[in-house]
Amino acid sequence: MSAAIPVTSQPAIAATTTAATTAAATATAAGPARRSDDSLVGQLNAEWARLCADPSSARAVARWRLPSVAAPADLELAVRGDADGILLALLRQGRNGDALALRSVFQLMLGKAVRIAATHAGRDSRPALEQAAVTALWTVVASYPVARRPVKVAANIAMDTLRLTVDELAHQRHETPAGHEHLHPAASAGSPPDLELFELLAWAVGNGTVTHEEATLLVDIYAPPAGRQGGKAAAERHGLTWAAARQRASRATRRIADAVRADVP
């Protein structure tokens, strides 16, 4: 995994990988899990709220020259309108040393990390799973190749975070990872990063990367509609064991990830 997560000029998160993993688990600003307790998720949400309220953050945001964005709190709405444009602009600022820009991408995508962790429930404690997923997210955000992968940015970040999380959990347990599972989309309707994940599956079916049945399996297992259980229960509905369903999901998501990487104009 990567180095720690820079947040502000006086970071609340320590500057080592270990500290990053112990402090790193939260939900995206656009996501449903706006925890405000003393959990790790709550701590990072509280930190983000402080950043949004800090006058120096508004001055930093003004330098980004993003349409309709005058403060960090405006980013969620802006991303709904232009996910690739906003995320790429922030990532480019981050490459130029702007820690708040990278922290903003991190916050916008944190819900994905929490949901990635949730798909591995039972393999470890929730704090440990979230630590692994959010640390993986920071690694991906901090090293995202803007020039090489300028399209489907949110989906790319989510898929890479998924891959690193599975690899890290496998390393911690000294075992082969069970699969590169897809993740639950945020419950917040209309969020482009979430819509993009569903659009990605439609795109993958359309170009023959995965079959309709594979895409349906991915959605049913990891993003079931309200009132229906995902995971093992969904696998059983498809007439599969949980192990077999995870293996099929792993193969499908690997093919999707490869196709996304190749689909750069």
What's the DSSP call for residue 30?
T
pLDDT cut 90: percent of the chain above it: 26
Most confidently modeled range among 169-178, 194-203, 233-242: 233-242
Cα–Cα dist 155/19, whole Å: 27
- The confidence score (pLDDT) of residue 262 equals 67
Q: Which of 174, 106, 113, 172 is nearest to 144 (CA)?
A: 106
pTM of the complete model = 0.62
Q: Check pLDDT > 60 for residue 214.
A: yes
Q: Check pLDDT > 70 for residue 194.
A: no
pLDDT tens-digit readout, 238-253: 999 988 998 888 888 8
HSE of 253, CA atoms in CB hemisphere, 13 A: 28
Cα–Cα dist 188/25, whole Å: 19
Q: Check pLDDT > 80 for residue 19.
A: no
Q: Which of 209, 93, 96, 95 is nearest to 155 (CA)?
A: 209
Mean pLDDT of 93-117: 89
Cα–Cα dist 247/239, whole Å: 14
Mean pLDDT of 112-122: 75
Mean pLDDT of 58-66: 94
- The confidence score (pLDDT) of residue 188 equals 34
Q: Which of 114, 90, 201, 121 is nearest to 155 (CA)?
A: 201
Q: Give 196's pLDDT tier (boundaries 50, 70, 90).
A: low
- The confidence score (pLDDT) of residue 135 equals 87
- The confidence score (pLDDT) of residue 53 equals 93
CA distances from 65 to 68, 101, 150, 192, 240 (A): 9, 12, 19, 21, 51
